[in-house]
Amino acid sequence: MEVAGLPRKVHITRTTLACLNGDYEVEEGHGHKRNSFLKAHNIETFFIVPSHQRKILPGLILSDIKAAKSMKFKTVCYLLVQLMQCRKMFKAEILFSNDMTCEDDDKTPKGTCAKSVKIAIDTGYRHIDGAYIYQNEHEVGEAIREKIAEGKVQREDIFYCGKLWATKHDPEMVRPTLEKTLSVLQLDYVDLYIIEIPMAFKPGDEIYPKDENGKWLYHKSNLCATWEALEACKDAGLVKSLGVSNFNRRQLELILNKPGLKHKPVSNQVECHPYFTQPKLLKFCQQRDIVIIAYSPLGTSRNPTWVNISSPPLLKDELLNALGKKYKKTAAQIVLRFNIQRGVVVIPKSFNPERIKENFQIFDFSLTEEEMKDIEALNKNVRFVEMLMWCDHPEYPFHDEY
């Protein structure tokens, strides 16, 4: 295992544990407490330990993701801290990865996606968000077709969103990629097709292309040329509407100001929730009739590849839970209702049948104007999905203010 470029220190900040309202102190890690991998490469560790449990806890350690941002890793060491509040104990799980893969370690069992989509349609969902890189569009298409055959819905009732991945930005690749999605879904058209990220990678079938040293292979693309190819797909009837995802204001303006623009983006899918309300981007888009679609509207899973895991857990928020108690709803339902009332479309993800149904039960109450303002005031400008592994890409969208 190559270790060139590993950091000399790893630590955990107090922010990670702030939600527990404990008294934390920092102490230097002793040799016998350090993982053998860290010891072998002389990486110092600093522990934050609840002072009242210092004698019984081994300590918690976390890689400094900001330090990682400035370093070139051949091997990335993740120290993922899982906060376990049960019995006031903590569990530290150590993960090592030779690369920054974006795939989940826990593979979703075959058929789970199809089953979930069927439950969602039966519950009343009609907007289904999918993507080429999710590798499950065949199951989504199967579920949609089955519900159409049952007479539960007609094709025009379903609003399916597909995505153009970063390795398919070259104009000549756009239509074949969309046609492949349609073939897998076994549908004649998609309702919305979006550029998933403004960053382009080396063209080809490899989803996350890297060189022999593990370095990401970026590609210089022309977003306007990509957009023109998408416009041709719309004119051909393969897609009803076009949109983007993870675009900042500057990147949106690039498309909006494109000479000869035929079809403007109707949506921008971005992270949006009470801890990251995106007020400036929301206002910019609403003024131009661009709908904000919120991914991770309930916060997100703590996958350290994608996510800043030192960020506070949204659904533990005191105000959100107090409002949930008032309306006899969960904090998640309060969060979804908040975005719905401010004109933001939400796409919560779940394979849990009960949560799928719960997330839909948000249309039988309304938050007051004062409550909406109180929730807006929770904004911490906390972005959970930072995609720091691509922060050196020329088109990385999150360096801009919005």
**Which residues, 6 or more positions from 244, have their beta carbon under 8 angstroms from its beta carbon?**
194, 195, 198, 251, 252, 255, 265, 267, 268, 269
**Which residues, 6 or more positions from 372, have their beta carbon under 8 angstroms from its beta carbon?**
338, 341, 342
Neighbours of 95 (CB within 10 A): 13
From residue 261, alpha-carbon distances to 137, 172, 178, 385 in Å are 30, 19, 20, 31
Distance CA(130)–CA(311), nearest Å, equals: 26
Q: Is 170 exposed, middle or buried (0-12, 13-18, 19+ CB in 10 A)?
A: middle
Q: Is 52 exposed, middle or buried (0-12, 13-18, 19+ CB in 10 A)?
A: exposed
| Dihedral sign of CA atoms 97, 101, 104, 105 in order | negative
Q: Which residues pair with 129 in a beta bridge?
A: 161
What residue type is assigned to position 253 of the chain?
Answer: E
Angle made by CA atoms 345, 347, 348, in degrees to the nearest 5: 135
**Left, alpha or beta for 87 (phi > 0: left; psi -120 to 50: alpha)?**
left
Distance CA(130)–CA(116), nearest Å, equals: 13
CA 305 to centroid of chain Cα atoms: 11
CB 297 within 8 A of CB 278: no
What residue type is assigned to position 236 of the chain?
Answer: A
The dihedral over CA atoms of 174, 178, 180, 185, expressed in degrees to the nearest 10, equals: 170
- Is 275 annotated in the active site? no
DSSP state, residue 223: H
Catalytic residue among 78, 134, 208, 327: 134
What are the tokens at 80?
A: 């993922």
Catalytic residues: 134
